[in-house]
């Protein structure tokens, strides 16, 4: 029945009523905290475009992981900045690679914290691309061999979940095969299934020291204009054995996120990327927006659009606000 019998405002009249009918509620259990690790000791180097975030040495990253544990964040995802970069991304699959060492140290102190490994090569290659480069081209199938090695190396180091983020075709299948072959059939794969060639990654490239030295990533990451292609990308990753999927970035791609959740029904995540975080921080610093409200509204929208969990640089702050 229409107005005046039906008055939606009745249910908005008080905080208690609003709480009762609220459809989406954030909690710390929804978040994954990204952390950056570099060599050294006692290093906590600020990332200027991402206030409150740092490049940590292994000893310091353990403390940062402890902050997440303290506020109830169940998982962290690690990114490494290696000592040396080369054409084969050796640091990504070395037994004593930087994220491998960090994983061991964190597991040792916080065995209950879920450790996710971002599996990509841009931080480890001297050219900053996410794969093997030959004659100015990023080679797909040679990169798969490295991905397989990196996945096994990360599982051996104690990572609970591996997350391929390079957008190479067939990478999920290659990793699944390698993991199973080495006795890691219980290690899940979180696929960056629909990852766009986004300008919102700008601050991350400062954080991870990983900008490509030539060209850009548009021969492997997706065109922001494409929706149907995202459905094909996710379908492939699911067929290849992905246990969970991700849409990245988050807020500009909520249509994709909603569709992925509805069509595939897998545990679905979204990555609120560095640029999304930096924009809120910058506007707040200027006094133009209320940081807490904007951050929580963004995260709520991402969850409402279908995210079962969210990778976010706000993980710790948002958890404190929600407490």
Binding-site size, ligand PBG (CB under 6 A): 11
Kindly provide the b/e burial profile for residues 69-93, where b requires at least 16 CB atoms within 10 angstroms of the residue's own CB.
bebbbbbbbbbbbbeebeeebbbbb
Three-state DSSP state, 27: coil
Nearer to ligand PBG, 259 or 273 (CB): 273
Give the active site residue among 248, 261, 281, 303. 248
Nearer to ligand PBG, 182 or 294 (CB): 294
Is residue 161 near ligand PBG by the rule CB under 6 A? no
Nearer to ligand PBG, 103 or 130 (CB): 130
User: Quick one: DSSP state of residue 33?
Assistant: E
Say how far apart CA 318 and CA 320 lie, in whole Å: 5
Minimum CB distance to ligand PBG, residue 37 (Å): 14
Is residue 222 near ligand PBG by the rule CB under 6 A? no
List the interface residues with ligand PBG, window 264-283 (CB under 6 A).
273-274
Nearer to ligand PBG, 57 or 274 (CB): 274
Nearer to ligand PBG, 118 or 240 (CB): 118
Minimum CB distance to ligand PBG, residue 194 (Å): 13
Written as six digits, the tokens of 38 are: 């570099």
Is residue 65 near ligand PBG by the rule CB under 6 A? no
Is residue 159 near ligand PBG by the rule CB under 6 A? no
195 is catalytic: yes
Kindly provide the b/e burial profile for residues 96-110, where b requires at least 16 CB atoms within 10 angstroms of the residue's own CB.
ebbbbbbbbbbbeeb
List the interface residues with ligand PBG, window 90-119 (CB under 6 A).
118
Is residue 144 near ligand PBG by the rule CB under 6 A? no
Instruction: Please identify which residue in 68, 76, 89, 130 interacts with ligand PBG, judged by CB under 6 A.
Output: 130
Is residue 54 near ligand PBG by the rule CB under 6 A? no
Say how far apart CA 97 and CA 201 lie, in whole Å: 24
Is residue 312 near ligand PBG by the rule CB under 6 A? no
Say how far apart CA 77 and CA 242 lie, in whole Å: 17
Is residue 31 near ligand PBG by the rule CB under 6 A? no
The β-bridge partners of 194 are: 247
257: CB partners within 8 A, 6+ apart:
247, 250, 268, 270, 302, 305, 306, 307
- The candidate with the shortest Cα–Cα distance to 231, out of 255, 251, 250, 199, is 255
Say how far apart CA 313 and CA 38 lie, in whole Å: 18
Instruction: Please identify which residue in 57, 154, 165, 269 interacts with ligand PBG, judged by CB under 6 A.
Output: 165
Query: Nearest-5° angle of CA 179, CA 183, CA 188?
Result: 50
Minimum CB distance to ligand PBG, residue 80 (Å): 11
| Chain residues that interact with ligand PBG, rule: CB under 6 A | 118, 120, 122, 130, 165-166, 201, 204, 217, 273-274
Positions marked catalytic: 195, 248
């Amino acid at each position: 029945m229409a107005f005046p019998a039906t008055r939606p405002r009745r249910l908005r009249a008080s905080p208690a009523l609003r709480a009762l009918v609220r459809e989406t509620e954030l909690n710390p259990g929804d978040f994954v905290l990204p952390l950056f690790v570099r060599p050294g000791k006692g290093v906590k180097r600020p990332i200027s475009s991402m206030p409150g975030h740092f490049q940590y040495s292994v000893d310091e990253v353990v403390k940062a992981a402890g902050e997440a544990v303290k506020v109830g964040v169940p998982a962290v995802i690690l990114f490494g900045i290696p000592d040396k970069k080369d054409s084969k991304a050796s640091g990504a699959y070395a037994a004593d690679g930087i994220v491998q060492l960090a994983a061991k140290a964190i597991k040792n102190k916080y065995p209950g914290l879920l450790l996710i490994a971002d599996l990509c090569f841009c931080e480890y290659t001297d050219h900053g691309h996410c794969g093997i480069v030959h004659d100015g081209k990023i080679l797909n199938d040679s990169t798969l061999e490295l991905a397989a090695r990196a996945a096994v190396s990360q599982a051996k180091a104690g990572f609970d979940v591996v997350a391929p983020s390079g957008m190479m075709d067939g990478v999920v299948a290659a990793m699944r095969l390698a993991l199973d072959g080495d006795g890691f059939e219980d290690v899940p794969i979180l696929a960056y299934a629909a990852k766009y060639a986004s300008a919102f990654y700008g601050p991350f490239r400062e954080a991870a020291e990983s900008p490509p030295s030539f060209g850009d990533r548009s021969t492997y990451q997706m065109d922001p204009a494409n929706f149907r292609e995202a459905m094909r990308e996710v379908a492939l990753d699911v067929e290849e054995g992905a246990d969970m999927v991700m849409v990245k970035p988050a807020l500009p791609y909520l249509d994709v996120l909603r569709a992925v959740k509805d069509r595939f029904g897998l545990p679905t995540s979204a990555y609120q990327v560095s640029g999304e975080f930096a924009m809120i921080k910058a506007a707040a610093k200027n006094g133009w927006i209320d940081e807490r409200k904007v951050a929580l509204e963004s995260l709520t929208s991402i969850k409402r659009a279908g995210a079962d969990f969210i990778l976010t640089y706000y993980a710790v702050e948002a958890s404190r606000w929600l407490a």
